[in-house]
Structures are given as C-alpha cells and as structure tokens.
C-alpha cells in the first residue's frame, strides 16, 4: 500500500459495491485514483496541489475535490453525480431496494439483488437482468417483475403492492420460486 494513500470511500451502485482510493503526494504533486484495486488515473509532478479530479465508476460521474485546510493539511471529498457521497448514498437508498442473501446449504451462493425503482431495472450480483413485467395472480399484489436469478436458472420475482400510505409509496418484495416467504431487505443499501 502506498504511503501517499489519503482517502478511501465505499460507493454502492446498482452494479455492486466499489472501493475508491485516492493517493496524493504532497511533495511530488502525484494524484492517483484506484477503483476496486485497479489504477484508473495517474498524474505525476503536478505543481498545483489543490483542485479536482473527475472520473467515472460505471455510469456514475465522480469528482474528488482537494482543498487546503491549514498549512500543509488537505481535505479530500468525493462527490457522485454532483452530490456529496453522503447525499448520494441517502438518495440511492430512496430510489433502490436491495436484498442480500444466500441460496443453498453446503456451497451456498451469495446474491445481491437490486431494484432501481425509477427504471424498474433489476441487477443480480452486478449484472443487469432480462426481465418481464406482468400483473400478479395474487390479489394482495399489483405488478410483478419476473427474472432469472443469475446463472442459477431459478425464477424470481419482485412483487409490488401499495403500502396504503401515500408517504410510504409502494412496497417491493422479492420472492424466489418455490417460496411463499419474501426475502428480507438488506438493512441498508449495500
């Protein structure tokens, strides 16, 4: 690990969790951006030690801001799609549902299923799935989004029903074929 590593952020997107690392050499002016362990940007010997670095993670447009605090101390912030990481993460949890679970017993396979509520796109372990929408046969629900759970070939569906409260909106529940019990939501979007 580099001694110039000054900041690390965790970024949750529909296609998965990403780790963003930033190296800043305050004597050399070096700036290095590493995403998921891969260097994606490097600049050596920059004379201006403050400023911004722009890059993308998937479809997300990111900016690292380097600001002088006092003396030779610097502050590093990450913004995503024009919002601070904190505000972006809050917004993600409002516009996405996430389920994390395992299937199987001995060689259990971990799954991360994400529903983008605004587009109704479904992602399984970082891959956008083919899906089809239908009305549910179950009278407790309205619409269903049907898809196959990754490479397992197992059918799954996300059923939508009203919460009965305008403020809470719609409730989305994930069901795996053969189960009448929904998969619990992840405690936080991750």
Enumerate the domain spans of the chain. Answer: 5-81, 94-176
Instruction: Give the containing element (helix H, strand E) for 110.
Output: strand 109-116
**5-81: what fold?**
Lipocalin (2.40.128)
Yes or no: domain 94-176 corresponds to CATH 2.40.128.180: yes
Task: Judge if 5-81 and 94-176 fold alike in CATH terms.
Answer: yes
* pTM of the predicted protein model: 0.72
**Tens-level pLDDT at each residue, the chain (190 residues):** 457 899 999 998 888 889 999 999 877 778 999 999 999 999 887 777 888 999 999 889 999 999 988 777 889 999 999 999 999 988 887 888 999 888 776 667 788 999 998 888 999 988 999 988 877 666 666 788 999 987 778 899 998 887 777 776 788 899 998 788 888 888 765 4
Cα dist. 167→46, 65, 142, 162, 163 in Å?
A: 50, 36, 18, 11, 9
SS3 assignment, position 38: strand
Which of 13, 7, 60 shows the shortest CA–CA distance to 32? 7
Q: CB atoms < 10 A from the CB of 97, how many?
A: 20
């Amino acid at each position: 690990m580099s001694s110039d590593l000054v900041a690390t952020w965790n970024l949750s997107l529909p296609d998965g969790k990403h780790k963003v690392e930033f190296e800043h050499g305050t004597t050399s002016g070096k700036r290095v951006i590493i995403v998921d362990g891969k260097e994606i940007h490097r600049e050596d010997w920059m004379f201006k030690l403050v400023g911004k670095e722009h890059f993308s993670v998937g479809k997300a447009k990111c900016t690292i801001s380097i600001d002088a605090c006092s003396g030779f101390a610097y502050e590093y912030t990450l913004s995503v799609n024009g919002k601070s990481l904190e505000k972006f993460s809050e917004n993600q949890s409002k516009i996405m549902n996430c389920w994390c679970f395992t299937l199987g017993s001995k060689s259990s396979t971990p799954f991360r299923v994400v529903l983008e509520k605004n587009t109704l796109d479904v992602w399984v372990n970082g891959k956008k799935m083919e899906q089809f929408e239908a009305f549910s046969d179950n009278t407790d629900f309205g619409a269903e989004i049907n898809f196959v759970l990754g490479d397992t070939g197992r059918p799954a569906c996300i059923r939508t029903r009203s919460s009965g409260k305008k403020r809470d909106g719609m409730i989305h529940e994930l069901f795996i074929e053969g189960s009448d019990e929904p998969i619990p939501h992840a405690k936080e979007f991750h």
